[in-house]
Amino acid sequence: MAAGTALVYDGEMSSHKLLWEDPVCDIEVPERLSSCYDRLQHYNLVERCISVSAREGTDSEIMLIHSMDYLETVKGTEKMEEEELQKVSAGYDAVYFHPTTYRCAKLAVGATLQLVDAVMSGKTRNGMALVRPPGHHSQRNAANGFCIFNNVAIAAKYAQRKYNLQRILIVDWDVHHGQGIQYTFDDDPSILYFSWHRFEHQKFWPSLRESNYDAVGQGKGRGFTINIPWNQVGLGNSDYLAAFLHVLLPMAFEFDPELVLISAGYDSGIGDPEGQMNATPECFSHLTHFLMNLAKGKLCAVLEGGYHLRSLSESVCMTLKTLLGDPLPPLSGEMMPCLSARESIQNVRAAHKPYWKCLTYEDVTPLQDLSTRSCQAEEAESTQSNAELLTPQEVGKGNISEVIKTDRFLEMHMKSIIVSLKPPIKTAAAVDESDTHLLPPAVHIPKGLDVKEFKTTISAFDVKLMKEEALSSLLNMLAVLNKIIKKEVINGLAVSSTPSLSSAIAAAHCRKLKVQKILCVFVGDMDMKIELEDGKVLLINICAKQSEQVNTKHNISLNWKEDPETNNFFSATFGFILPVAYSYQPNLTIVIVGPNQNLGKNRISLLISLLQGLAQSQILALIQDTEEKIMQDITNILTGGFIPNFGTYAPDLKENVQMIKELREQFQQEWKLLQCSAASS
């Protein structure tokens, strides 16, 4: 099993710089690269990575995407004087050349390919390449938008050829449309290209018709280009999350890539002068974490844009920290996608319904004519949601400057990154003596329990008739839970013969220790014994048996019909459980795996892996002792292993999808991340 995270960096790529005045290009500065690297060093992240050297991309590698003519043109700039360089630059849209540009662009290509090799050869599981100049706008015959060679497009072609890959996913979270990548793979069904981008009804650069949601690819490639046009600035964490949950992830898991490439531009982050969006650095941790569950974890992130140096470098750090397997930071702000974002999401889902099985049973209402819609209501709404994050004094001042707002967010972020320092031990476990050999050596097994500490918790429950063995396993479970709450470990697992009683006792113990919000996910048919009165628990119950219980905001049952042929559970995971969980923002997650669960171990593993995005990754997994074969898989996930492949995709049963749809409608006012259309509000 491949482990470790590669970091590819070469300071020489800082030599490419603008030599004359040009207000369009002057944001693409050498410090973009050096400030990222400095910040990585500051957080001791460089030393935790496997350092991989850059190299030059070769002519034939560059010509996987670009024409020989264009390559010769770029080569020619190496010997030019400033005046001539200016002339060549003026032949393209938003581009500058420097005598070292050719050398740096070759290093950017080669660095990206070195990363692909590290990951595909199994030298590392994943990694990041910090490169300049960026790539995603450049085209077969043209430089464009600060981009010379299309690093990620070349990497995709290279990986297909060298490693015989059938399916590659490219996620372009840069705030600009990577039209260069789209053009390259427009008719190619083996590359799924996803891009969101500031669009503003085609007013924003590069102002292309083909950046809209109805550009879905051509010929055999129809359905394999996904564009989410953002028609408003000021979008943030919840809008990006909604786009991932309701658009990208269902399609990406259906596509089942063998490699994930990220065109990782951070001009979609807060404070960026180009993007004007509000996503905080933490958001990029979550986006990264979602994608790490695909392709057996094989993921390469390659730097594209990002022009606010502090925001850029913090976001790069969060991406790399996540690749390294650190716990996920909490997300700030109310989880409520805005109307304009929901409208874009709805339109993309509608445009893609013919091509994706995961959308088959979704009724997406007919498209709206975007050009005639007024944005006033949206603007009012977005101003309001920004205002919520400011102090009354700041709001009183009227228009708070973007600079102050960004600084405040980055400050909050710096505090949270210190809080989320990694404990030395990741996982604690309480299992039967006879099962300890099933655990990896790094797992901590608490011993020498302070029984008194747990006595008061347990005494409220009817445990007098319990056998000694069962009682001691309860105490062990509480010891593991205690370590999670005290942040001595990140997560834990406990095997129990009475998981539903154990979970009730665990929840009671959490309350005693003042854990504010607990998310409990039950998988299997069990009695719920958890106290719900005080609203400090959100209970999601995935069961095969129809229950008579009436769903409420904090107690929701999913009656999931068994069907081993088609169950992939993605519609429940992405369409309901994660949106609700992210809306709730718990402080601790407890997953209880009981009898008769019909999801299969891969689905449960995926669910638990994704739930690590919540509650700063603090999870307790409680497993019924009869479900032994699941224990090892869950241990693997909790200790940082990756998700196994899912096999051929088959859509969820119509009645299951229908059930999810109804639940979504029922609860989208309470849990707003469920909203994925403009109709809901």
Query: Considering beta carbons, is residue 145 or 327 the nearer one to ligand Q9C?
Result: 145
Rounded-to-integer distance, Cα 76 and Cα 97, Å: 11
Rounded-to-integer distance, Cα 133 and Cα 33, Å: 10
Sheet holding 555-559, edge to edge: 427-430, 491-496, 619-624, 588-593, 518-523, 537-543, 555-559
Q: In angstroms, what is the minimal distance from the CB of 230 to Zn ion?
A: 13
Query: Considering beta carbons, is residue 85 or 143 the nearer one to ligand Q9C?
Result: 143
- Beta-strand ranges (E) seen in 594-638 are 619-624
Query: Considering beta carbons, is residue 195 or 571 the nearer one to ligand Q9C?
Result: 195
Which residues face 523 on adjacent strands?
Answer: 542, 593
268: nearest Cα among 235, 243, 316, 303:
235
Stretch that binds ligand Q9C, among 139-147, 379-387, 517-525, 564-572 (CB under 6 A): 139-147
Q: Give the dihedral sign, CA 151/157/161/165.
A: positive
State the binding string over 85-104 for ligand Q9C (x if CB under 6 A, else -).
Answer: ---------x----------
Query: Considering beta carbons, is residue 144 or 617 the nearer one to ligand Q9C?
Result: 144
Could you tell which of ligand Q9C, Zn ion, none binds residue 205, using a CB distance below 5 to 8 A set by kind? ligand Q9C
One of 16, 66, 137, 509 is an active-site residue; which one?
137
292: nearest Cα among 642, 680, 658, 671:
642
Q: Is 272 in the site for ligand Q9C (CB under 6 A)?
A: no
Q: In angstroms, what is the minimal distance from the CB of 410 to ligand Q9C?
A: 20
Q: Is 137 in the site for ligand Q9C (CB under 6 A)?
A: yes
Backbone angles phi, psi at 225, to 5 degrees: -120, 125
Burial class (CB in 10 A: 0-12, 13-18, 19+), 424: exposed
Would you list the DSSP string of 247-306? IIHHHHHHH--SEEEEEE--TTBBT-TTT-B-B-HHHHHHHHHHHTTSGGG-EEEEE---
Stretch that binds Zn ion, among 29-37, 276-284, 302-310, 392-400 (CB under 5 A): 302-310
Backbone angles phi, psi at 335, to 5 degrees: -85, 85
Could you tell which of Zn ion, ligand Q9C, none binds residue 250, using a CB distance below 5 to 8 A set by kind? none
240: nearest Cα among 190, 181, 200, 290:
290
Q: Is 146 in the site for ligand Q9C (CB under 6 A)?
A: yes
Is 352 an active-site residue? no
Residue nearest to Zn ion (CB): 305
Strands 588-593, 427-430: pairing kind: unpaired
Query: Considering beta carbons, is residue 96 or 253 the nearer one to ligand Q9C?
Result: 96
Q: Is 174 in the site for Zn ion (CB under 5 A)?
A: yes
Q: Which of 221, 236, 250, 265 binds ligand Q9C (CB under 6 A)?
A: 265
Rounded-to-integer distance, Cα 283 and Cα 584, Å: 16
Query: Considering beta carbons, is residue 305 or 492 the nearer one to Zn ion?
Result: 305
599: nearest Cα among 621, 577, 570:
570
The amino acid sitting at 17 is K
Residue nearest to ligand Q9C (CB): 305
Q: Is 305 in the site for Zn ion (CB under 5 A)?
A: yes
Helix axes 281-291, 402-419, angle to 10 degrees: 60
Q: In angstroms, what is the minimal distance from the CB of 107 to Zn ion?
A: 20
Q: In angstroms, what is the minimal distance from the CB of 266 to Zn ion?
A: 9
Q: Is 537 helix (H, G, I), strand (E, B) or coil?
A: strand
Could you tell which of Zn ion, ligand Q9C, none binds residue 94, using a CB distance below 5 to 8 A set by kind? ligand Q9C
Q: Is 174 in the site for ligand Q9C (CB under 6 A)?
A: yes
Q: Is 24 in the site for ligand Q9C (CB under 6 A)?
A: yes
Site for ligand Q9C in 295-314 (CB under 6 A): 304-305
Q: Which of 178, 265, 269, 281 binds Zn ion (CB under 5 A)?
A: 265
Query: Considering beta carbons, is residue 227 or 347 the nearer one to ligand Q9C?
Result: 227
Stretch that binds ligand Q9C, among 144-152, 185-193, 337-345, 551-559 (CB under 6 A): 144-152
Could you tell which of ligand Q9C, Zn ion, none binds residue 240, using a CB distance below 5 to 8 A set by kind? none
Query: Considering beta carbons, is residue 28 or 362 the nearer one to ligand Q9C?
Result: 28
Site for Zn ion in 64-123 (CB under 5 A): none
Q: Is 649 in the site for ligand Q9C (CB under 6 A)?
A: no
Q: In angstroms, what is the minimal distance from the CB of 305 to Zn ion?
A: 3
Would you list the DSSP string of 391-448? -HHHHHTSS--HHHHHHHHHHHHHHHHHHTPPPS--EEEE--GGGGGGS-TT-B---S
Q: In angstroms, what is the minimal distance from the CB of 176 to Zn ion?
A: 4
Q: In angstroms, what is the minimal distance from the CB of 348 to Zn ion?
A: 20
Query: Considering beta carbons, is residue 16 or 137 the nearer one to ligand Q9C?
Result: 137
Rounded-to-integer distance, Cα 38 and Cα 42, Å: 6
Rounded-to-integer distance, Cα 17 and Cα 626, Å: 63
Rounded-to-integer distance, Cα 633 and Cα 443, Å: 14
CA 56 to chain CA centroid, Å, is: 31
Rounded-to-integer distance, Cα 491 and Cα 615, Å: 11
Structure tokens of 390?
A: 């400011």
State the binding string over 191-230 for ligand Q9C (x if CB under 6 A, else -).
Answer: --------------x-------------------------
Q: Is 528 in the site for ligand Q9C (CB under 6 A)?
A: no
Which residues of the chain form contacts with ligand Q9C (CB under 6 A)? 24, 94, 134, 137, 145-147, 174, 176, 205, 265, 267, 304-305
Q: Which residues bind Zn ion (CB under 5 A)?
A: 174, 176, 265, 267, 305
Catalytic positions:
137
